[in-house]
């Protein structure tokens, strides 16, 4: 993770999740825990691309474009583990 400089705002963690269904039936999820997929190849690619990007906590453009072309949003909200008891 890059170091913060005095002029840069601190990075903020996301407090939501987004879940998509790929046209091949696999699912992709973005949450405070990072990227996950039930397809190991997609999970690996998503992790690698997001690590290269300095845009955390946002979704890198290459991933956003891929999702827009290949996936359908199926769920969004606040992860259960972030909700108060």
14 phi/psi in degrees, rounded to 5: -75, 150
Pick the more confident residue, 70 or 2: 70
Confidence at 34, pLDDT banded by 50, 70, 90: confident
DSSP secondary structure code for residue 82 in this structure: G
Residue 16 is assigned to a structural domain of this protein: no
Kindly report, residue by residue over 48-58, the tens digit of the pLDDT. 988 887 655 67
Residue 73 is assigned to a structural domain of this protein: yes
Domain encompassing residue 41 = 33-80
Task: Supply the Cα-derived Rg of the chain in whole angstroms.
Answer: 14
Residue 38 is assigned to a structural domain of this protein: yes
- Concatenate the DSSP letters of all residues of 32-59 into one string: TTEEEESSHHHHHHHHHHHHH-S-TTSP
Please tell me the pTM assigned to this model: 0.72
Confidence at 73, pLDDT banded by 50, 70, 90: very high
């Amino acid at each position: 993770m890059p170091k913060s400089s005095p002029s840069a705002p601190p990075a903020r963690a996301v407090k939501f999740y987004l879940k998509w269904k790929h046209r091949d039936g696999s699912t992709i999820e973005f949450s405070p825990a990072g990227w996950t997929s039930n397809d190991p190849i997609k999970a690996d690619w998503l992790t690698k691309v997001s690590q290269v990007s300095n845009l955390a906590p946002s979704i890198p453009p290459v991933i956003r474009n891929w999702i827009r072309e290949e996936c359908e949003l199926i769920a969004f909200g606040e992860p259960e583990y972030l909700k108060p008891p």
